[in-house]
Amino acid sequence: MLALIQTIVMALDLYWWIIIASAIFSWLYAFNVVNSRNQFVGSIGNMLYRLTEPALRPIRRFMPDLGGIDISPIILLLILFFVRQFILTTIAPLVL
């Protein structure tokens, strides 16, 4: 059971970094730092979008319009942090 908990925590940590990479990539793309016509850049952006958008879309639905500022990745990171801490402090001690 401990191996399952560690695997879930590792997956949450990996998804944490994917969300951060997606946010940074969106900033680089918006400010034309990366070449938007490059096929490799486009494929990375598409991959990050497909990995994060299913989790970000429900959050964006409930967020008020902040005039071009998207804080949904921050909210998702807070949710992931809460779930990770809940697993480590509440569920893991019960299993051990």
As for how many domains the chain has, the answer is 1
Distance between CA atoms of 22 and 35, rounded to whole angstroms? Answer: 16
At position 54, the amino acid (one-letter code) is P
Which structural domain range is residue 7 located in? 2-95
The pair of three-digit structure tokens given for residue 5, joined into one six-digit string: 């908990």
Q: Count Cβ neighbours within 10 Å for each residue of 71-81 and write b for 16 or more, e otherwise.
A: ebbeebeeebe
pLDDT tens-digit series, residues 10-53: 999 999 999 999 999 999 998 999 998 999 999 999 999 999 99
pTM score, two decimals?
Answer: 0.91
